[in-house]
Structure 1
Amino acid sequence: MVHGLVIGKFYPPHAGHHHLIDAAARACDEVTVVVAPSTVESIPLEDRVAWLREVHARSPHVRFVGIYDDTPIDYGSEAAWDAHTATFRTAVGARRVDRVFSSEAYGEELARRFGAVHVPVDPGRGAVPVSGTAVRADPVAHWGMLAPPVRAWFVRRVVVVGAESTGTTTLTRALAAHLRLRGGVFAGTCWVEEYGRTLTSLKMAGLAPGQTMEDLVWTREDFVAVAREQNAAEDAAARSGGPILLCDTDSFATSVWEERYLGNASSAVRDTARRPALYLLTSDEGVPFEDDGMRDGEHLRAWMTGRFRDELAARGVPWIELTGSYRDRLTRAVKAIDDLLAAGWNLASPLLPADANRIVGGSC
């Protein structure tokens, strides 16, 4: 039984990491992948391990172990090497290591300390030209190098909320279409529909002849179902689209609608609320009311807009209110999204080597 070892931060996991792990999986009977970030990094360790397990689920002989390693990196220090190696040995356990697979200069020395053979894999990044540093600096430019679960973590979720007939769906669709026209990774921009309208349609289909929207009976369970389905649809779309995900309402908005129909919002619904990158609130002012047979009435719009303002302010989330003409609203929304992208992801820097050119006992 040949046991291979792969060690890295996987900050975040990308196509180069998967190439490295696949190479080890093909060459060994079993492989241990040690995910060893420092605690200063921004992406949780458990997320990285889960993502790697999902991507490599078809290689059951590859196991993933997460462990934090806050020892300063100094390739010229025996004490630092000893501490790092001890951490990695704890993660590996009692298994003997036969081969160490690495794309890094320190691979030779790491293998020596495990009494194993070093197997370099694409050290020049020719086969898969990507690095964790490059991804952190510009996730959008390297979007194609990220697996679906990693994309879902990086995607910027922009949620459009507002009272009835204030253009939330129209704006969400328009923003998605605008981004798709940019091409590249934005060509796959997704938008998530409002599940509440779907459930309303289903409930209306069960009404007796002559009954209307006013005859619908709403329960706490209905709003929990809406919030749950909305979150599930959002999460699915986040895995398959581009860097921006547009959402026509979300589980937070569901709590506001629950208040409108049942008098207050339940903790069961409030607890499902996420924290997206940006909320866009569509004002009711200056927007003609259109009754499509599934709306309460124009008289409620100002109250709902006010409730959204109050709740968004209380949550302390990023949000802007869109007023004016349709073109004004679209223009301001596009600028807000561009500002969001320009701000970047601001991931914390990992612990960096004191001197990357000094490798104890090695020639790399």
Structure 2
Amino acid sequence: MKTTGLTLGKFAPLHKGHQYIIETAIRETDHVIVVVYDAPEVTDIPLKVRASWIRSLYPKVEVIEGINGPAVTGDTPEIKKIQEDYISGLLNGRKITHFFSSEFYGDHMSKALGAVNREVDRSRTVVPVSGTLVREDVFLNKNYLSPVVYKDFIINVVFLGAPSTGKTTLARKLAEDYDTVWMPEYGREYWELHQEDRRLSLNQLTEIAEGHLLREDQQLYMANKYLFTDTNAITTYMFSLYYHNEVSGGLNLLAKQAEKRYDLFFLCDTDIPYEDTWDRSGDVQRSEFQIQIMEDLIVRNIPYILLSGSLAERVNKVKKVLKTFQKFPVL
């Protein structure tokens, strides 16, 4: 007989204790269903984001988003009945053979479902963590979170602009001020190693965007609340158009994904002196490229904030924006 395991929770956030339960269910049953409760009273992280963590980490698991689920919790007969009826309604008659949990409700929920009550690490000895503990300080307790989860707590700030507009200096300075890490422009490093006659091929430009993304993901897990990123795949896309008048399919896809990847876009202005280094093509090109970047952002419908003035003025403007920014605005 095919076995079906069920577990449920708010997963606010999904931590390694939750993962231990899910992975136990995967090992012990043929099919696993995870119900993710909507929980606005506990977290401002949207239901879809929390469900996406499980879908990303466990592609074969069936995830059900529990919209408008009961917010009441407790051990009274009335509350138990509310919870049991809600889960029964979501399942719509589907047979559950094993109910997995590490909470008191495992007993009554498994009985209501006619399923085996499979308690997993209820004493929290295998994974000594709870959602409450993690919520108290996500960054201190990051070791209990998958990088897939942790990155959604980081505000990823990207700085765009033509060459010599102060992106690197600004990203480095803000990382220092906020005691976090920053993501250097991978394209410059790659260009210095691989350029021939100051040019790169279409495939090489795609490799830049891919390499930048890999390093950026690593930096996201190292970050403390903020990651300050120097350029992204959209910049590489613009360089490809400039030098080749075309873009590879892979780079075009990465640039499209970049439209939604970052929480804040800042465009660094050209009102600072041009630094004429050997790897740059001149102040005229800087002005032209800046206009093209601005137009591309508008076409992509990406809201951006222009940063002008001295380094101190730019830093202060970014800090003012960050002070009021909410990654997941309360609905």
- Tell me the TM-score normalised to structure 2 length: 0.75
Contact 2:205 2:240 in 1 (8 A): yes
CA contact (8 A) 2:12 2:50 kept: no
Residue 84 of structure 1, aligned match among 78, 87, 92: 87
Give 2:167's aligned residue. 168
- Larger RCO: Structure 1 or Structure 2 (Cα < 8 Å, ≥ 6 residues apart)? 1
Specify whether residues 251 and 91 from structure 1 end up closer, same or farther in structure 2 by C-alpha distance, changes over 3 A only.
farther
Work out whether residues 36 and 67 of structure 1, in 8 Å CA contact, stay in contact via their aligned partners in 2.
Answer: yes
* Match in the other structure for 1:110: 109
Q: 2:47: which partner in 1?
A: 41
1:191 maps onto 2:182 in alignment = yes
| Distance in 2 separating the partners of 1:83 and 1:130 | 22
Q: Distance in 1 between matches of 2:21 and 2:162?
A: 50
Question: Which of 194-203 and 10-19 deviates more?
Answer: 10-19
1:37 Cα deviation from its structure 2 partner: 2.4
- How many pairs does the alignment contain? 307
* SS at 2:129 equivalent: coil
Preserved CA contact (<8 Å) 2:55 2:63: yes
1:8 aligns with 2:9: yes
State the Cα deviation string for residues 279-316 of structure 1 (Å, max 9, x = none).
1211111x222222111111211222222222223323
Shift of 1:20: 5.7
Trace 1:11-160 onto structure 2 (pairs within 5 A): 11-18=12-19, 30=28, 34-37=33-36, 41-43=47-49, 45-51=51-57, 53=58, 64-70=61-67, 72-73=69-70, 81-82=84-85, 84-85=87-88, 87=90, 96-97=97-98, 100-103=100-103, 106-113=105-112, 114-117=114-117, 119=119, 121=122, 128-131=129-132, 135=135, 145-160=144-159
State the Cα RMSD in Å: 3.8
Give 1:346's aligned amino acid. Answer: P
Instruction: Give the superposition deviation at 1:320.
Output: 1.0
Code of the aligned partner of 1:42: K
**Counterpart amino acid of residue 101 in structure 1:** S
Deviation for aligned residue 1:249: 0.4
| 1:255 alignment counterpart | 237
Task: Name the aligned partner's letter for residue 267 of structure 2.
Answer: L
Q: What TM-score do the two structures reach when normalised by structure 1?
A: 0.69
What residue number does 1:60 align with? none
| Aligned-residue offset at 1:47 | 3.0
Is the CA contact (8 Å cut-off) linking 2:159 and 2:229 kept in structure 1?
Answer: yes
Distance in 1 between the 2:313 and 2:83 partners? 58
Is the contact made by 1:37 and 1:45 (CA closer than 8 Å) also made in structure 2?
yes
Letter in 2 for 1:320: I
Structure 2: runs of 5 or more not aligned: 39-45, 73-77
Please give the secondary structure, in 2, of the residue aligned with 1:66: strand
Alignment partner of 1:294 is 2:297: no
Distance in 2 between residues matched to 1:7 and 1:147, nearest whole Å: 18
Q: Structure 1 residue 278: deviation in Å? A: 0.9
> Is 2:322 the partner of 1:321?
no
CA change 1:110–1:261 in 2 (3 A) is same
Distance 1:338 1:139, change over 3 A: farther
Q: Comparing 169-178 with 139-148, which one deviates more in the overlay?
A: 139-148
